[in-house]
Amino acid sequence: MSFTLHGIAVTSGIAIGHAHLISHTSLEVAHYVLPKQFLDEEVARFDAALLATRNEFSILRSNRPTYAAAEFDAFLELHQMILDDPLLSVAPREMIVSEQCNAEWALKVHAETLQAQFDEFEDAYLRERQTDVKQVAERLLKQLLGHPGHVLPQARHDVELILVAHDLSPADLIQFKPHQYAAFITDLGGATSHTSIVARSLNTPCVVGLRNARELIREDDMLILDGERGVLIVNPDKPILAEYRLRQSEWELERKKLKRLRTARASTLDGNLIELFANIEKPEDISEVKENGATGVGLFRSEFLFLNRDDLPDEEEQFEAYRSVAAGMEGQPVVIRTFDLGADKQIKGAERVANNPALGLRAIRLCLAEPHLFRTQLRALLRASHYGNIKILIPMLSGVSELNQTLHFVEATKQGLDEEGIPYNGDVKIGGMIEIPAAALALNVFAKRLDFLSIGTNDLIQYTLAIDRTDEEVAHLYDPLHPAILHLLSQVILTSKKLGVPISVCGEMAGELAYTRLLLGFGLRQFSMISAQVPSVKQRVLTTSLPEVAALTQKILRTDEPMKIRELLEKLNA
């Protein structure tokens, strides 16, 4: 019987193959009472399983593949931390003795308590970490039950296999990769789970959050996975299969062609050069920037250096991170944003409770409220500017006095470095993010004092439409095609052009193919996006004629009917 399931799209691409189910250990275990004389033995059994799980992590670490080293290290570190949490490593031992219960039961009870603690977090990313807790507990449970680790299924070479699991840990995913699975699907997981992050980095089609796929699919069922749409078709009929085979070969051909564009210049049909930069979070990301042919870093979200750790990066650590990116990019521009902490990105131990975190002490507001942190970062940035083409970007500017204070900080930091005879680029460019409607509407004020501007559409849309971008309840209202957004974007781009101040877009819109021509039509010439999107956006640029899109873009701006706007956009992208 043919049926279709819908999940969360993680990595695009089409995979067609036979289902290979992998078993999972659920935390549903038996509970039994032990006679007192067996308790020491039971505690020793728990300790042995704990030790064996730690050893498993060491083996995983030493066998870690080079193609996803950074993600793998981060996930291993997290899983080891979870294993060392007293709730998993100490409390079950105590419960075995106090309640005279079996080790599996003690583990299950405490794993669920720890999961429940993660469930309380407001932050979606932290909430999703309960999946990691479950994965660690399952690993430990497998040791207790005497079948350690996941058994790698035998890959068959005659057919493509799609791995079907209730849940997959990032380690499983990495282990399965050399076995050449065509795709991965899981019942659990969200778009920001570590498994999804690793799947993306492996570039293998993947759909998560399919809820009960593992239950509904049988071994060897024929599957079609449409990674782009997050759709899974089970036992498709012949015409559907034929259609997807065609789409799959078109998609593969397209990817091959796109790869050839790596060194091509992103030039429109009428000969205008468009700059396509990449967004990064960590210095290691620059290998991907280069692989995808981006010609600079348009947004280095420096706050990621401050997250997931108990201490703060000092001046030397920050200097080395910024210097290595600048040196690695070999003279190409590297725009480093001063830390955008606060709201959903908080430093450990300094979490603030605010009624409206997105409207609170965030980004530049936090920098100015914590001058020692800001000064340290500015010193590191200025020092690193001596070693490459670094530009400094200020997030979330809303008013003139804030901007003046920021520029004053930069000057004072330069003076300090002068006095110490430390070299830096005296002409380092300072830019501002336009992501608050006030800044967009009073652009002159910012353009006059800054060297360049960058539109953060993620926040600009959030603040203009009053929609919390982290709240799934209002996600459907988050609309880049809202007439207010279109007018704001076109005005900001036009005004900055008139004033002669370079402007880019570094929010998600810049990497979405649907909006490439629209933004070009507004006059945008610099885009910054996730590295993987650069080849397809480049291809769109190569097939675009600016005079042709200009007329249609103006028509879109004159329309305020949502349906009509979408119709015209389709025409623009045809």
Euclidean distance between CA atoms 236 and 231, whole angstroms: 12
Question: Residue 227 or residue 431: which is nearer to ligand PEP going by CB?
Answer: 431
For the question of residue 506 being annotated catalytic, the response is yes
Question: Residue 303 or residue 459: which is nearer to Mg ion going by CB?
Answer: 459
Spatial contact of 277 and 297, defined as CB atoms under 8 Å apart: yes
User: Quick check: helix, strand or coil at residue 345?
Assistant: strand
**Residue 115: CB minimum distance to ligand PEP, A:** 29
Question: Residue 457 or residue 490: which is nearer to ligand PEP going by CB?
Answer: 457
Q: What is the amino acid identity at position 71?
A: E
**Interface with ligand PEP (CB under 6 A):** 299, 301, 340, 435, 456-459, 506-507
Question: Residue 335 or residue 428: which is nearer to ligand PEP going by CB?
Answer: 335
Long-range contacts of the stretch 263-270 (C-beta < 8 A, 24+): 263/293, 264/293, 264/538, 264/542, 266/537, 266/538, 266/541, 266/542, 267/541, 267/542, 268/520, 268/541, 268/542, 268/544, 268/545, 268/546, 269/542, 269/543, 269/544, 269/545, 269/546, 270/545, 270/546, 270/547
The pair phi, psi for residue 85, each rounded to 5°, is -60, 130
Tell me the DSSP string of 253-266: HHHHHHHHTTTS--
Question: Residue 236 or residue 456: which is nearer to Mg ion going by CB?
Answer: 456
**Beta-bridge mates of residue 101:** 33
Element (H, E) at 3: strand 3-6
The pair phi, psi for residue 399, each rounded to 5°, is -145, 170
Q: Is 385 left (phi over 0), alpha (psi -120 to 50) or beta?
A: alpha
E-state strands within 312-457: 334-337, 390-394, 429-434, 452-455
Spatial contact of 325 and 280, defined as CB atoms under 8 Å apart: yes
Question: Residue 61 or residue 487: which is nearer to ligand PEP going by CB?
Answer: 487
Question: Residue 100 or residue 470: which is nearer to ligand PEP going by CB?
Answer: 470
Task: For residue 199, give the nearest of 218, 222, 173, 224 by alpha carbon.
Answer: 173
Structure tokens at 176: 């399965």
Structure tokens at 404: 């003046």
Question: Residue 95 or residue 461: which is nearer to ligand PEP going by CB?
Answer: 461
Query: Which of ligand PEP, Mg ion, none is residue 506 near (CB under 5 to 8 Å by kind)?
Result: ligand PEP
**Count helices and strands in the chain by DSSP H and E runs:** 23, 16
**Residue 303: CB minimum distance to ligand PEP, A:** 8
**Residue 346: CB minimum distance to Mg ion, A:** 15
Long-range contacts of the stretch 265-272 (C-beta < 8 A, 24+): 266/537, 266/538, 266/541, 266/542, 267/541, 267/542, 268/520, 268/541, 268/542, 268/544, 268/545, 268/546, 269/542, 269/543, 269/544, 269/545, 269/546, 270/545, 270/546, 270/547, 272/525, 272/546
**Residue 299: CB minimum distance to ligand PEP, A:** 6
Query: Which of ligand PEP, Mg ion, none is residue 272 near (CB under 5 to 8 Å by kind)?
Result: none
Token pair 């293998």 in the structure block, residue? 204
Query: Which of Mg ion, ligand PEP, none is residue 192 near (CB under 5 to 8 Å by kind)?
Result: none
Element (H, E) at 124: helix 124-145
Question: Residue 221 or residue 303: which is nearer to Mg ion going by CB?
Answer: 303
Spatial contact of 24 and 167, defined as CB atoms under 8 Å apart: yes
Euclidean distance between CA atoms 540 and 329, whole angstroms: 25
Query: Which of ligand PEP, Mg ion, none is residue 457 near (CB under 5 to 8 Å by kind)?
Result: ligand PEP
- Counting every residue written for the chain, the total comes to 574
DSSP-derived secondary structure letter, 90:
T
Structure tokens at 29: 């275990």
**Residue 279: CB minimum distance to ligand PEP, A:** 7
**Residue 340: CB minimum distance to ligand PEP, A:** 5
**Residue 459: CB minimum distance to Mg ion, A:** 4
**Interface with Mg ion (CB under 5 A):** 435, 456, 459
For the question of residue 194 being annotated catalytic, the response is yes
Query: Which of ligand PEP, Mg ion, none is residue 301 near (CB under 5 to 8 Å by kind)?
Result: ligand PEP
**Residue 569: CB minimum distance to ligand PEP, A:** 20
Spatial contact of 518 and 494, defined as CB atoms under 8 Å apart: no
E-state strands within 22-97: none
Catalytic residue among 24, 194, 367, 482: 194
**Residue 337: CB minimum distance to ligand PEP, A:** 8
**Residue 365: CB minimum distance to Mg ion, A:** 13
Question: Residue 172 or residue 435: which is nearer to Mg ion going by CB?
Answer: 435
E-state strands within 166-230: 183-186, 206-208, 222-226
Euclidean distance between CA atoms 304 and 217, whole angstroms: 39
Q: What residues are annotated to the active site? A: 194, 506
